[in-house]
Structure 1
Amino acid sequence: MTKKYVIYRRVSTRSQGESGLGLEAQDRDIALFLDNYSDVPFEVLGTFTDVLSGADAHRPELQKAIALAKSAGAELLVSKLDRLSRKVSQIAGLMDDSALKIRVASMPNADKFQLHIYAALAEQERDFISLRTKQALAAAKARGVQLGGLRDKTMKRNEAAKEAADAAAKRVASIIVPMRESGASFKKIADALNAANVPTPRSKQWAAMSVRNALNRLAAA
């Protein structure tokens, strides 16, 4: 039996859509999924692309993709979950549609329940990073730091990296802390996170060292 897919892509600006910037990365991830994870044989029934913000609920091409997927009994295939939306409420609405099958290339084995949890965690992490970054910049300004130059860009880049790592540690605290307290090794904890399709801040696989770093961050906090 042939597996059927309808591909949906999204870029945030017109320039990205015209240049292919962003689309190439999405196409690469989708191709990796089809070549390595899809049932064979498979057929792509169509590809639809919106050029708009992730916060914009009006997605004409997405609606066309959904309609085709449902009518043909195909899976709606996206490269990453945030290509559907950055809002949990919008993703939840799609997940609640029992007639719609969704597949995310970068999380090939995740079911709807896991995708919903991941969307909620990602939204919390974005909100947390935004808040901490604003507070850090306000504190720097109060100390007399001149913002806007190369030094400021470096500071914001370093701060953003730190915030992402701190947020990731908090996001998995309820998993790694109890496991560590019960005697689980760093490697065993890393394997559990990877099995649950929980990515690191850089969207990579967890390793024993990254679990230990996360626990150290939680202890320092």
Structure 2
Amino acid sequence: MGQKAAIYARVSTSDQSCERQLRELAEFAERGGYEVTSIFKETASGTKSNRAERSKVLELTQARKVDAVLVTELSRWGRSTQDLLDTLNKLSGWKVSIVAMSGMTFELDTPHGRMMATMLTGIAQFERDLISERVKSGLAAACARGKKLGRQPEQRPKSDKLAPDVLAAVEEGRSYRWIARYLCISKNTVLSIVKRHRENA
């Protein structure tokens, strides 16, 4: 047999099934001459940061027990463009590649892989710029309406309304301290919003 591979399949909700992905990936592995040594499947939102099965795959790759990770499409693996780029860099350091079922192999130590990394970096920056622009636009609109952000005297913080701005800033890579100062809320409020989002994700 050829390279050792792990199969990773993911669906977003409990009413969906990984079986079709697993079947197609098994057929793809056979055609490509991969020796499938591990199969991982999980139900989790695409943006959820804590994916137990994906973490197991990363542990397996770090131990260099496989040469490749097979997925139906990159959106099943990466939470975002930046997350995809980060994990590709990790896998590259461990000499492991991500192979999408389209047949495209992502290896950052090859010319093609480096070109893809450059493109992904640009896309990730573009996404961060859009998020930043959306946050700033939303805050400017709120100020124009006379809305006061943050904790007001004898008033509980409107964390539910500020949650989208907080989460967008977190996705942009801003620190909790920066977000708290920018939105005029406490750092504890930022922590509470992020914790609640992760628990509900």
- TM-score in terms of structure 1 length: 0.45
- TM-score in terms of structure 2 length: 0.49
